[in-house]
Structure 1
Amino acid sequence: MSVANTQKIDMATQMAVANEVVQSAPKVDYMEMEDVAAHKIFPDLFEPGTVKLKRRKHRHPDCIQSNPMYVPDPEMAKLALVWLMAPKQMLALGLQGHTGTGKTELAMYLADKLNLPLYIVKVHARMNPQDIEGSYVIDAQDGHAVTHKEYGPAAKAYKTGGILLLDEFDKASGELTSAMHLLVEGKPWPLEMFKETIMKHSQCYVIGTANTFGSGHDDRYITSNQMDQAFLSRFMWLETQYPDVVRESKILATFAPKLPISLRNDIIKLANAYRDAALGKNRDGDVDDPIQAIFSTRVVVAWAYYIQAFGLFRTLKQSLDCVFLKSVAEEEKSIVNDIAVKVFGDQLDKPLKELVSKK
């Protein structure tokens, strides 16, 4: 027998063995559950020995890693867990709050820690019902074009389980919200694209995030649409807030530990000064002539990051310009600049090197 033939036989044997190994490998049951001490999953929320939670034992391929630096609001996260862990979700979960209050982060955090696959639908005004159902796609198979169904993220979550995140769903058109009534209520959902009706999986959890409560046009969130009460009443609502000083300090300490504590504190002080001017001291909108610019936790973290990235020889004002001031409406620039000067004084125009050397 020739060397070439021997090599062919060896290769064929290796392929056969590999196929046998693949076929004999145990199939992972992604629905298998396990009891885990809550403090091991959510150390920020629970003390040791207090409670156990059920979660999926095996991590699904559609799981998405959450932000490792995310610091949850304990009460908000626990309420969301109460909803998620209940034997039945009587209503979908609506997370409403201003931009950058952690709505999407909370949903991703829960899905990640509980090993739940996460399917995100970025809702926008031009989206139609077929966009969330799926489409037919054409693939090549054995030299032929084959058409098959490809379920969209909403249909996939509904059929196979996981968290379905309808992100910024207050931007949806009336046509889309009408088509989603059955979806958010957990009823049999007809997919017009495929001419079939699918049933909600027992482990499908529908969460929607929104800047408004569906009231329509807002001076700050101009792309939000008005939604009818029939749709809104299908949600259990939690209102997310900007972190208090203690929690935001913890966030910055985690994200930018090398910045002086006094500088981190001033960043948070400025953030709250801007929020006072936009939303009032109680964050209830009770403020005369509010500014529209919002200094969210997202901006807080971004500014801390770029203060460091810009280096020791650039000023705080340079990085603040880039992450916030340049995006402020022209008619508000003088007010916003005055607030920054009131908090930081002449330190805004000093390089980081000089500020660090004083600490």
Structure 2
Amino acid sequence: MRRKTREQVERLVQEMATELAELRSPGIREAVHREAQRIGEAAAHEAIETYRSRMDNRLHSIRDTAVKQATEAVLDRTRQTLEDANRTYLEQAKEQAREIFHDSVPPVISVQIDRAPPVRVTENSHEVLPDVILVLKARCHALLVGPAGTGKSTIAQQVARTLDLEFHALSLGPTTPMSKIFGYYDAHGTYHDTPFRRAFEEGGLMLLDELDSGHPGLLSELNQALSLGVCAFADDMVTAHPDFRVIATANTYGTGPDRQYTGRQALDAATLDRFVILDVPVDEALEERLALAQAPTREAEALEVLHLVRKLRATAREKRLPVMFSPRASIDSAKLIQAGACVEEAVEWRVLRGISDAHRAALGADAS
């Protein structure tokens, strides 16, 4: 074989090897990731077939007879090897596509009560969402208790959309005035209503956020409205609409401040008795889906931060440290990474910011 011909064959084979290497690079994972939700594992199969087609087209385009014969000889010796490699890779890619599809697409939740048509939720949702829907469909009010950042307020919004209720929200605090709940007359004699009044009278879902921050006097005024279905507003006595529902959120069970939530109020037993109380822990499967969705092209770095946040969270819980690592830390860090921050910057800016050297050492996250 002439030297020029050998060089042409070697160059052609090298080009094919490069194409195969590119196919196996992380780029194919990103391609599969982008396609997984739409066509699932078919994307991986299409990628393999596309490569094989390109390889065959390259062979057919060769005009030099000697080069073509030499290339056919090379392909005859290597085709089985390539087929075996492609077959193995295809199975791996299909499995990867299935995993990505499972992680990327939220599970469909279906809740059925009595003989009513089932309620279906297809968006990313917390694992306790079906329980909350059941409580409200049973015409009860719900108190969601859990750490900060677990998605309690988001659950209330999703329930409102699912049950087709108008959504109203109000955050409570120690200085929240009665007028913010029950309305008021201004100096000109004009009555001003409130989100609570509209939900109560016209129907809707009322979110009372941070219930355990509210003033006890204000909460006691709400008791009658929640239990009897009538409420004395500033202008009139009003009867609750049949579709009036309340979801309240809290970080504690109404027992007062603790090592993490130092500004919380103790809740009266009469107030707690108005609610069905549901625990809302960290849903790590939801946390992962939401975090990875924020960094579609830098998934590996987002996963690295996610695993660190989980490790710190477990250590803080085990050692009872007054520090918090909520799912927001993972999600915000993924946003920073996607925007261009490195892992170290995201961790320092969002995960460890404000934590003392002593607590960093106890967490195993000190600079050393």
Per the normalisation by structure 1, the TM-score is: 0.66
Residues 294 and 338, structure 2, Cα contact 8 Å, conserved in 1: no
Residues 168 and 205, structure 2, Cα contact 8 Å, conserved in 1: yes
**Aligned equivalents of 2:116 and 2:215: distance in 1?**
42
Aligned to 2:316: 278
What are the superposed Cα offsets for residues 195-234 of structure 1, whole Å, 9 maximum, x if unpaired?
x211111001111000000000111011110011111111
Letter in 2 for 1:52: P
**Aligned equivalents of 2:192 and 2:213: distance in 1?**
25
**Of 325, 344, 347, the match for 1:317:** 344
2:324 partner SS: coil
**Aligned equivalents of 1:156 and 1:341: distance in 2?**
53
Residues 273 and 339, structure 1, Cα contact 8 Å, conserved in 2: no
**Aligned equivalents of 1:152 and 1:317: distance in 2?**
45
**Of 274, 296, 317, the match for 1:257:** 296
What are the superposed Cα offsets for residues 25-67 of structure 1, whole Å, 9 maximum, x if unpaired?
xxxxxxxxxxxxxxxxx963139xx982479xxxxxxxxxxxx
**Aligned equivalents of 1:340 and 1:113: distance in 2?**
45
Question: Are 2:326 and 1:296 aligned?
Answer: yes
Aligned to 1:206: 246
Residues 128 and 176, structure 1, Cα contact 8 Å, conserved in 2: yes
**Of 307, 320, 336, the match for 1:306:** 336
| TM-fit CA distance, 1:131 | 2.1
Letter in 2 for 1:129: M
Aligned to 1:71: 124
1:328 partner SS: coil
**Of 342, 346, 353, the match for 1:326:** 353
Residues 249 and 264, structure 1, Cα contact 8 Å, conserved in 2: no
Aligned to 2:206: 164
**Aligned equivalents of 1:150 and 1:43: distance in 2?**
43
**Aligned equivalents of 1:173 and 1:329: distance in 2?**
32
Aligned to 1:118: 167
Per the normalisation by structure 2, the TM-score is: 0.64
**Of 66, 71, 82, the match for 2:134:** 82
2:361 partner SS: helix
TM alignment of 1:178-197, pairs within 5 A: 178-191=220-233, 193-194=234-235, 196-197=236-237
| Change over 3 Å in CA distance of 1:254–1:319 after alignment to 2 | closer
**Aligned equivalents of 1:322 and 1:123: distance in 2?**
29
Aligned to 1:225: 265
Letter in 2 for 1:117: E
Letter in 1 for 2:348: D
- Which structure's residues are more often strand, by fraction? 1
**Of 106, 113, 117, the match for 1:52:** 117
| Change over 3 Å in CA distance of 1:152–1:168 after alignment to 2 | same
| TM-fit CA distance, 1:115 | 2.8
**After TM superposition, where is structure 1 displaced by more than 3 Å over at least 4 residues in a row?**
333-336, 339-342
| Change over 3 Å in CA distance of 1:275–1:265 after alignment to 2 | same
Q: Percent identity?
A: 23
Residues 208 and 246, structure 2, Cα contact 8 Å, conserved in 1: yes
**Aligned equivalents of 1:321 and 1:159: distance in 2?**
48
| TM-fit CA distance, 1:147 | 4.0
Q: Which has the larger radius of gyration?
A: 2
How many residue pairs align between the two structures? 261
Question: Are 2:255 and 1:176 aligned?
Answer: no
Residues 44 and 72, structure 1, Cα contact 8 Å, conserved in 2: no
Q: Which runs of 5+ in 2 are unaligned?
A: 1-105
What are the superposed Cα offsets for residues 281-314 of structure 1, whole Å, 9 maximum, x if unpaired?
xxxxxx3x422221111111000001122x2xx5
